[in-house]
Amino acid sequence: MAGAIERRGAVTFVQDYVQLHFDGPTITAITRPTLVADDVSLEFGSPGYRDRLCGLIGRKVARAHVRPGDRLQVEFDEHVSLVVSLIPEAYRAAEAAVFSDGKTEQWAVW
């Protein structure tokens, strides 16, 4: 997944999950992502969460990586990260997140 994402293009809030659209690729986060900026974590539903998440639209991705059983993390410029927990207790469904590359329809599911 690293290197596949260039820029955040859109965010879609669906009833019980969030889709993060990049320049082609999409991450569907069934486990709601946490935003981490300047050592402060914002959880889904907390004041400013949606504004801050939408504020990432157009921002460059510095790095993206997965630590199986721990987290999927997308790091943006200016030390802002989006984290989807892959800890089994955090799962809200059978999957925590789904990644589609948007070109070859290659998928990854956690």
Tens digit of each residue's pLDDT, the chain (110 residues): 544 446 778 999 999 999 999 988 999 999 999 999 888 999 999 999 999 999 999 998 999 999 999 999 999 988 899 999 999 999 999 999 999 988 887 889 99
Backbone angles phi, psi at 11, to 5 degrees: -135, 135
What SS3 state is found at 24?
A: coil
User: Regarding beta strands 80-85 and 34-37, do their DSSP bridges make them parallel or antiparallel, or are they unpaired?
Assistant: antiparallel
Number of Cβ within a 10 Å radius of residue 106: 12
Domain ranges of the chain: 8-109
pTM of the prediction?
A: 0.88
Alpha helices in the chain (DSSP H): 49-54
Residue 4 near residue 64 (C-beta atoms within 8 A):
yes
